[in-house]
C-alpha cells in the first residue's frame, strides 16, 4: 500500500523550527554549528522534507526522523533519499529521545497522533470503517494490542481510559457496554463499532464509537505518557534560540502542551510567542479534513541576547 499522508500545518511548522535553527546557529560563536533537528513523528516525512528544504543553505544541519512505525520509516526513507546524509531515520519512541539522540537539539517537531496510512489499513485495527483486528499498535512489532488489553482490564480502569482519553462522561456505563459486547464476540473493529452504535447515544453527529476508539488507541500506545516525557525532557535540551513545535489533534493533548509551555514560559529561559497557537486556514481545512482539529504550539528557548533585550525592556518600563 502506498504511504500517502497529507502534512498538516506544514509551512508554519517548518518556518518556526527553521527560524529557531538559524537563531541557534547565530548564537554559536565558537563556529561549530553542526547539529540536528529532531522530527519526533516522521510519518510520511512531510515535515522533515519541509525542514530540509527550508534549511537548504545550511548543509551542515541534519534532520533525524523518529517513528515507532517501521512502515513509516521505510516510506520516509525512500521519499527523503535525495537529501543524502542530511537525513537519518531512527526507529523508536519520542519518549526515549534523550537516549536516542543525545546532545543539544537545534529544533524539534512533534505532529501527534496517527498517520493516514495507519488509519486506512484495516489490518492495523485503528479504524472501524473497514473490519480488522482490534490491534491499534503504532509499532506492530511490540506491546499489547487493544484486544490484549481488553482481555484483562478491570471495568473501573477502562472507564478511566474512556473518560481521560475519549472525554466520555458516562464512562462506567460505556465501559460496561464495551466489555459486554467484546466478551460476546464483538472482537473486531467494525463489529465492536456496530454493537456500540446500537447501544450508545446516537444523537451527536459523531459515530458513537469514535471517542471509544480514540481512547483505546491512546491507551494502547501510551500516548499521554509519551507526550508527558517529551514535554518534560525536550525543552532543556533545546539549544538557545531553538524551537519545539507540537501539533495536537484533540483537546486533552492540547491542554497538556499549553500547560507545559506556559509553565516553562514563566521562567526567563523560554517564551511562547503565539499564545493561542496556530490553526489551519480555510483552504487547508477544505483540502484536508484532518487539519480541522489541528493546533500548533511553539516553545522557544531564549538566547542570551533575548534575555538582555528583555531585561533592558523591563528596566525601561520601570524607569518610565
Ligand atoms: C501524524 S503522523 C506524522 C506525519 C508527518 N508529520 C508527515 O508530515 O508525514 C504521526 C506519526 O507519529 C508516529 N508516532 C506517534 N507517537 C509516536 C511516539 N511516541 N514515538 C515515535 N513515533 C510516534 C506515528 O507512528 C505516526 O507515523
Mutate to test the pocket of ligand 1, among 9, 40, 41 (most ligand atoms within 8 A of CB): 41
157 C-alpha vs ligand 1 centroid, how far in Å? Answer: 26
**Nearest residue to 243 (alpha-carbon basis) of 273, 280, 279, 275:** 273
Q: What is the pLDDT of residue 315?
A: 67
Residue 203, domain extent: 139-220
Please indicate, yes or no, whether residues 247 and 111 belong to a single structural domain of this protein: yes
Q: What is the pLDDT of residue 29?
A: 58
Q: What is the pLDDT of residue 30?
A: 54
Q: Does the residue 190 lie in any domain? A: yes
Q: Is 44 in the pocket of ligand 1 (CB under 6 A)?
A: yes
CATH code of the domain in which 66 resides: 3.40.50.150
Please indicate, yes or no, whether residues 230 and 287 belong to a single structural domain of this protein: yes
Please indicate, yes or no, whether residues 227 and 300 belong to a single structural domain of this protein: yes
Q: What is the spatial distance between Cα 13 and Cα 296, in angstroms, rounded to a whole number?
A: 7
Q: What is the pLDDT of residue 201?
A: 77
139: helix, coil or strand? coil
Please indicate, yes or no, whether residues 112 and 241 belong to a single structural domain of this protein: yes
What total of structural domains would you count in the chain? 2
Q: Is 41 in the pocket of ligand 1 (CB under 6 A)?
A: yes
Torsions phi, psi for 184 (to 5 deg) = -90, 10
Atom of ligand 1 nearest to the CA of 45: 9
Q: Is 253 in the pocket of ligand 1 (CB under 6 A)?
A: no
Q: What is the pLDDT of residue 319?
A: 46
**Nearest residue to 190 (alpha-carbon basis) of 134, 269, 243:** 134
From the DSSP assignment, how many helices (H) and strands (E) are in the chain? 14, 8
- 139 within 8 A of 90, measured Cβ to Cβ: no
Q: What is the spatial distance between Cα 173 and Cα 300, in angstroms, rounded to a whole number?
A: 43
Please indicate, yes or no, whether residues 231 and 309 belong to a single structural domain of this protein: yes
Mutate to test the pocket of ligand 1, among 74, 115, 116, 284 (most ligand atoms within 8 A of CB): 115
What is the chain's pLDDT, residue by residue, as a tens digit (320 residues)? 577 889 999 999 999 999 999 999 988 655 555 589 999 999 999 999 999 999 999 999 999 999 999 999 999 999 999 999 999 999 999 999 999 998 889 999 999 989 988 998 999 999 999 999 999 999 999 999 999 999 999 999 999 999 999 989 889 999 999 999 999 999 999 999 999 999 987 777 788 899 999 999 999 999 999 999 999 999 999 999 999 999 999 888 999 999 999 999 999 999 999 999 999 999 999 999 999 999 999 999 999 777 777 777 766 654 44
- 40 within 8 A of 97, measured Cβ to Cβ: yes
Q: What is the spatial distance between Cα 204 and Cα 88, in angstroms, rounded to a whole number?
A: 44
42 C-alpha vs ligand 1 centroid, how far in Å? Answer: 5
Q: Is 49 in the pocket of ligand 1 (CB under 6 A)?
A: no
Please indicate, yes or no, whether residues 252 and 215 belong to a single structural domain of this protein: no
Q: Is 43 in the pocket of ligand 1 (CB under 6 A)?
A: yes
Number of Cβ within 10 Å of residue 2's Cβ equals: 6
**Nearest residue to 6 (alpha-carbon basis) of 301, 312, 294, 300:** 294
Amino acid at each position: 500500500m502506498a504511504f500517502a499522508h497529507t502534512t498538516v500545518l506544514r509551512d508554519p511548522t517548518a518556518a518556526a523550527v527553521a527560524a529557531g535553527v538559524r537563531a541557534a546557529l547565530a548564537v554559536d560563536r565558537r563556529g561549530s554549528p553542526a547539529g540536528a533537528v529532531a522530527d519526533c513523528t516522521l510519518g510520511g516525512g512531510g515535515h522533515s522534507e519541509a525542514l530540509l528544504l527550508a534549511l537548504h543553505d545550511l548543509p551542515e544541519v541534519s534532520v533525524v526522523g523518529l517513528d515507532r512505525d517501521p512502515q513509516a520509516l521505510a516510506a520516509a526513507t525512500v521519499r527523503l533519499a535525495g537529501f543524502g546524509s542530511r537525513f537519518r531515520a531512527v526507529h523508536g519512541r519520542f519518549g526515549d529521545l534523550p537516549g536516542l539522540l543525545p546532545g543539544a537539539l537545534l529544533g524539534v517537531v512533534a505532529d501527534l497522533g496517527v498517520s493516514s496510512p495507519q488509519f486506512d489499513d484495516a489490518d492495523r485495527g485503528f479504524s472501524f470503517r473497514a473490519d480488522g483486528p482490534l490491534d491499534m499498535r503504532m509499532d506492530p512489532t511490540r506491546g499489547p494490542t487493544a484486544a490484549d488489553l481488553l482481555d484483562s482490564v478491570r471495568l473501573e480502569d477502562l472507564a478511566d481510559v474512556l473518560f481521560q482519553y475519549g472525554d466520555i462522561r458516562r464512562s462506567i456505563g460505556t465501559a460496561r457496554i464495551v466489555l459486554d459486547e467484546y466478551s460476546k464476540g464483538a472482537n473486531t473493529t467494525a463489529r465492536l463499532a456496530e454493537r456500540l452504535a446500537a447501544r450508545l447515544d446516537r444523537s451527536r453527529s459523531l459515530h458513537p464509537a469514535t471517542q471509544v476508539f480514540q481512547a483505546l488507541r491512546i491507551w494502547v500506545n501510551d500516548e499521554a505518557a509519551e507526550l508527558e516525557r517529551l514535554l518534560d525532557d525536550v525543552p532543556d535540551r533545546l539549544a538557545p534560540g531553538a524551537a519545539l513545535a507540537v501539533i495536537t489533534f484533540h483537546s486533552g493533548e492540547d491542554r497538556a502542551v499549553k500547560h507545559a509551555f506556559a509553565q516553562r514560559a514563566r521562567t526567563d529561559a523560554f517564551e511562547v510567542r503565539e499564545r493561542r497557537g496556530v490553526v489551519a486556514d480555510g483552504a487547508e481545512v477544505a483540502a484536508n479534513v484532518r487539519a480541522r482539529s489541528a493546533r500548533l504550539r511553539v516553545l522557544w528557548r531564549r538566547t542570551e541576547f533575548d534575555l538582555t533585550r528583555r531585561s533592558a525592556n523591563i528596566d525601561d518600563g520601570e524607569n518610565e
